[in-house]
Structure 1
Amino acid sequence: MTGNQPPSDSSKHLTERLDIDFALEAAGLGVWEIDPATNQVIWDARCQALVGLERDDYLPFEEAIQYIHPADSERVLMAIQWAMMVESGGRFDQTYRTIGADGGRVRWVRFWGQGYFKPTGEVYRFAGVAQDVTVQVQASQQVEESEARFRALVEEAPVATCLFVGRELRIDVANSLMIGFWGKDPSVIGQPLAVAVPELVGQPFLSVLDDVFTTGEPYEARGARAELVVNGVLGTYYFDFTYKPLRNAQGDVFAIMDMAVDVTEQVLARQQLEESELFSRSLFDKSPAAKSVHVGQEMRIRAANAQMLTLWGKEASVVGRPLLEALPELRTTPHLERLRHVLNTGDRFYEAEEKIELIRFGEPYTGYYEYTYEALHDAAGDIYGVMCVCTEVTHQVQARQKVEESEAALQSAIDLAELGTFSVEIATNRTTLSPRMAHWFGLPAVTEVAAMLAVIEESDQEPFQMGFTNDLRTEAVGAYEGDYAIINPLNGRKRILHTTSRTVWNPEGQPLRIDGTAQDVTAQRELQLALKEQVKQRTQQLADANLVLEISQQRLVSIFEQAPVAIALLEGPDYRIKLANASMQAIWQLPEGQELVLNQPVFEAFPNIAGLGLEALLAQVRQTGVAISGNELPVVFLRNGTPETVYINFVYAPISHADGNVDVVVAATEVTEQVVARRKVEESEERYRRLSEQLAVSNNEYAALNEELEEANELLVRSNENLQKFAYIASHDLQEPLRKIQQFGNLLKMRYVGTDNDGLDYLERMQAAAGRMSQLIKDLLDFSRISTQRDTSAAVSLDEIVSRALSTLELTIQETGAQLHIAPLPVISGDALQLGQLFQNLLSNALKFHRPNVVPLVTVRASLVPVAALPAPVKPNRLTANYHRIDVIDNGIGFDEKYLDRIFQVFQRLHSKSEFAGTGIGLAICEKVVVNHGGGITASSEPGQGATFSIYLPVQ
């Protein structure tokens, strides 16, 4: 049955059989069914709408799965395969994304259903319902993002902040300042406050918090006394703090936010002042502090020293006058009431850094003041007046505000650049990590250097240590810069960090600490590797003439021209420019048509790049046949008539011809904006180091840097979008014309049935060629996906993997009468999908390449080998003491071992297509899977004597 012929059942019969169409529509559910006999998908209009289709009730399964988002397709296909196996019980329930035919719209959908099996275990029906859950998924994602932003805000707050949840006051989140006030470590997170800080029991704080939880009213205190154990010693501290209740959607208090400032020094200073004797009149007048004495309810000025008169900006004539008459600008302020309160109660009043607007010497003036109102007693102990002691702190406040603004701008720049920071104290050998850096390393914010070093990948530890050693030997800023890989011990995630550091020296020339920044460049480095792989694949595709089909040439040329990576082809020993796509023109900034550079030697067309060492790199590529890459190469191009220095990431890859000539493919990406942005961030860090000496530094440079970083981020986003479009074209658009060829070919074959016309033979040849092309594209996509590093930490039983592969090959085994001997296999850490592809390819080859008239005999066995016993060609990228060796042995046609290096390369075949079908990609996929799992693969064989493929995987 073809894709145009409906199965025996129809969607109308389907809904009649279920007899719940109205209820399904009310619930927003669609009905679907997969017919295992015809491999057809039958679905109603609601299901079709989930992938942007209209009136397409029947669809081949292979076409229907094209609408699954690439990031989810493997997971969904595995779930479908599992649900159609009797041991699964037939249950299927998956939530995933679809890419609609209506303009590529992305939707979140949930498909769930049941497989039905015959007594023999064969599935005869697979059906269920589906629903659009985009709104629910997006809402859940928004809640998670909101909570993450809240926690980040608390953790990076400049004041001590924490959140208590529930009546038990469980510590839900607390930043390092608050934990430091308590004298604890981050392990208190999640504990009730009374358990985490037991010394608070009996003090008023727990009772006040309980009242706030009960009444829902906020509470604020200044200079509150607290007894805390810090560094193992019980001490007395004073805090200004605020308890603010948080309410849920129903209006009930569910948590309390605590924000505190340590004012111990100020309180102690005030207490010392209270304990001292009142100054005498002479000391009052000669005091360097501004002082005044006020009496009566009008707060008449009895005395004011010269400092106070200067601070007010008044003449001595104000002495003897009521306060508001002498300083009428204070009428709208609470100062008169505060003075009267001290006069009436004797309570002392203190304020730090209050903003006050005065008229000083006839001119408006705004300043910041620290002042105290103290009751004065006569000999009988009665209060007769109030003394004011005041200090202007305007300059200090403004300087601190500028520093805070500069620090905020610098922190913003660091956040926008997604940088992590660290500081190593030489004396203690301890490292302080920023929150982002601590998250990357999976370590506490303060940790030992040895713990930080242990997270670095073993191969990078020695260069990292040598770099820091050299940093301590020279007084150069930024003495160490380099890349290194880390593996987070908490989640096993691997990152590549680019680090720049400098040493801070004391006046005696001794190193105090090492300050540095780090940037996560994993994506860039993976992109460079992917680019190398794309260039390699592109080169091999061009070398294989069997892939050149007229119907796909225009599509491939379009992909070349629209690729987000700049690509050019250099021919011959003088490196003449043969081809250059639009992205390369954008780097060169040439007019359309490329008449200025085509067929010209590249160093004649661009003399400014001569002498940079590129000539030697190109010669090395032509001589060795090995690709070479480079990062951030400075090159001078003539742009708009003006020389301009740009920075390029490039790859030079060879293309070898049958006549022995070698051309070079150049793939490049301009990273000028990223380099400039990074350097400006480094310059900003240096300016921050000098802020303590230059308090009046301007913030304009930080604002400009923010704009440039935003532009660089936008460029990176656009680059990622282009790469996604490029992958979509490769995975979907190339298949579309082939499907049309096959469908129209089927129609023409039906028309020519029963005729002797040569056209039928031509159609069959065309169909065969289109089928090979379709299979090649699928294999290339498999190879591309396999090339992507996946999570290989799950436990996988190789017995189950081989069993599934043999089940898939069951028909081939029956047709060939093959005999199989499968020994017990180990359980390893890996990715089940990739390992399934590995063993299915190896077993398929063992069955396919059998000798005529000889029953295939395939043996799979396993053993342990130490690392010292690994064969010379096997160089695993993950070193361990022992390795699992799994041999796949057959008695087939074999091969000459001189071709051993070729068989694992893409498109390399030792036999013609007429002898054995295939695309030459299967063994390349096998090698990629093994490399992704940290192992190696090799083979041994003789013509006519069968072959043995040996896989080496690390023992965890």
Structure 2
Amino acid sequence: MEASQDNQLPLLKFFKKHTLEEKFNITKRYIVEYLQNFIEGTAVDGIIAGLEEWKEDKLVIPRTGVSPVDMALLEKGRKSILLKFLPLYTKNLKKALEIVNEIENFYSFQSVKAIEYFSDIQNEEILRKNQELTHAYEQLKESNEELVRTEELLKESNDNLEDIIRARTAQILESEERYKAFINQSSEGIWRLELNGIDGIPVDLPVAKQIELLYSFGYFAECNVRMAKMHGYEDVSAVLDKKLQDIMSFANFSPYGYFNSFIESGYNLTDAESLEINNEGRIVYILNNIQGVVENGKLVRAWGTQRDITDEKNTEERLRYVVNNAPIIIWSLDKAGNVVLAEGNTLMPDIRDNENGSGKISLKELKYLPELSASAMRALEGEAFAKIIKIGDKSFEAHFSPLKDYMGKVTGAVNVAIDITDRVTIEKKLLESEDRLRLSIEAADLGIWDITDLSGEFVWDERSKRFFGLSKNAKVNYEVFLNGIYLEDRAYVKSAIEATLRGERKDDIDVEFRTIGYEDRLLRWIRIRGKVFFKGKGEPFRFIGTSQDITNKKVQENELKTLADKLSESQYRLNLITNAVPAFISYITPDKKYIFTNNYYKRLFPHGEVIIGKSISDVVGVENSAIFYAHFEKAIREKRNITFDYVLNKEEVGFNNSNIRITYIPDIDENGKVRGVVAMGLDITESIRYERDLEKKNKELSKINNDLDNFIYTASHDLKAPVTNIEGLVSSLVETLEESNCTLSEETKLVVSLIKDSVGRFQVTIKDLSEIGKIQKNFVEDVSYINVKEIIEETELSIENKIQEANAEIVLDINDCPSISFSRSNFRSVVYNLLTNALKYRSPERKSRITIKCTVDRDYSILEFKDNGLGMKEHLKSRIFQMFKRLHDHVEGTGVGLYLVKKIIDNSGGKIEVETKEGEGSVFRIFFRNSPYILSV
């Protein structure tokens, strides 16, 4: 009764006039009678008798005051009463399941019979109402053929229900046989769930936690064949020992909602519906009963039943349309266009609230539904058709048919309109979703493929074919697909596809491979992703997925890998270099944290202390940090290198008053922001000591050089007079002897000649020393712009006799040589010494050839002397510029000429280069530094 009140059912009208005691006595009488029938085994007979009394209107309650929903509520209440006694009656699972099945079969039978009787009652009511219709309606009734057609239209939506009722009736007749083979042949799925890995689920845990544990650790210890097949498996073995989460897939809500009801019901869930997807991908409605077993405060197991009520749900939905007059409009018209029969909650109020009370309304009065009126008129004109019409904001699929008498004359029309508003909305959303999906596919440049027969032709879209270099009209099969794959990838892809089709891969297929276009011969990288759908026996029946051209992605991946390799190599080289440098090298962030240090820091921290992440003060000590912070912040602020010296005292690791020169180098990004600072610390203790020693040695060397310069200068001047006197005395001695008519022996003449030669060589040496002294004392003439060609020709003319004596050829290529800012006498000395040197060391095996060439670059004017003389060994060329050094003794010389050349050029800021090869000759290049005038030229 409470349920009737909640749902405002017709039964409520009957009980409204009774007192509470009267309601209780009526209810008690029926419950006692109901239980007595169960005890006596006459429950079915009692049902039939009660339904007959209902049909014949012999009950206390009028038959029109009871609906199938009332019967369903009574059935649910009585069933609940029986099930509440079940745990007290037996603890045996098998017996309990047998009882539950028997009760379910009993009430299924009662439901079917109730619907049948209700249908009969409704038919009787329709017949009674038909007797009260107008004469026009009586004429319609007289035509049996037209009446049958009308009844067919009225019952069109009930056809499936009648099929289900007949099928259910057949199941009830066979219930006794199914009962005997309940466990293995039950129409319901029966299962037992145990927990693996835990000894139970504490019932005082939060509901969500209990559900999580049940879903994760629950597994099927027992089930029957029906339960396995209900979830798309052919055999019980495919379900046993499987986790709950692997078998039950919930389509319309998460498992938390389903098991939440189970836990909150005290672990006894009755008649709970769920919408699941079985292993074949089919959506099924399941009616569930679950009984949990709680021991010592823990849920240790659960057992239950499941019944596939998909067909019943579908039929129930259709029946609800008819019984509750909700989404269907059923109406008939007489030949004048008056509505004579109308059912449907969505029908216009004009029909139900007609002012004249006749129950009729003309189509002409339905002014706000012109489309409906026009369609009905077409049916009255004899046309049968179906169309979609709009009534307000709802859409209906309307079927219009004319009613004819036995003569074929139209006597009226009938219309059945089904509310398809939701379907239209869904279809609209589906179209919108398809549009969005198509746009997404096009934006992602995805190809779509669908395969239902691996041995037949594939269904590929144009984009998938393009990825394989095929035209849009090309035929594709498995062989074409495999042959289009790059040979080295073919076996891998084939293996992956076949493993997927065998169900060996847990995940959907996702592979990347290369293709060679059939027609364009282009190499592409392709990624395919797909899913295989299997039948109950694990046989694949459909394979669908997408393909994508990932060539650019692969190119980018290769480029990134190359960059990563280069970066890794650069990092390795950087580490190698920084670790090889005997200096402290680190990288410090602007917040003064070390993020990199080289191995040299191990000298400061030999015990493996971690420096990375520490601050400057952590490393150098708080007492020393001020100077470091000041220079660090200055480097960041001024964005330039800052260098300072620091005395490091850390005797325990070998730094005792060590001088460290530290340089902070800011790392500046492209936006001018300092990203960090590179710090370099160089131990300059030894360098400072070397610098001091070098300074001392330089002072000593300067003193020695000064002494040597003084000696050379003194010797060149003090020796001139004695040598000149010796020369004069020898000449005077010879003249005196000749005047005294003293004949000189040949031996004496030879001695005199040798003395004169020695004096001559001595004078040359003194002259060379004098020149050296001038250079050492910087006794140079004033620098001026000199004509190179003019001085070379003058020098050549001054040694003409030596050139002729050597039979040498002088080749000049100096026409383009500019004027040089240089000392004229020093330049002549350079040319003289280089020419005479080439003449002295000519080769006796060939005619001497000396080439003088002049060139100019940005910094120097270059004078080149090339000869084909004796040359020298490569490793000896650095010695030719040493004072008094001679590499060949068969010619005369002092070994001072090239020394003078080197000294002159060095003092002027130039340089000399020598190329030589023994037996082939030498090349001397003299580099005279250009003056600003030469640069401007």
Q: Under a length normalisation based on structure 1, what TM-score does the superposition of the two structures give? A: 0.27
Q: Under a length normalisation based on structure 2, what TM-score does the superposition of the two structures give? A: 0.27
Larger Rg: 2
Q: Which has more helix, going by share of residues?
A: 2
Q: Which has more strand, going by share of residues?
A: 1
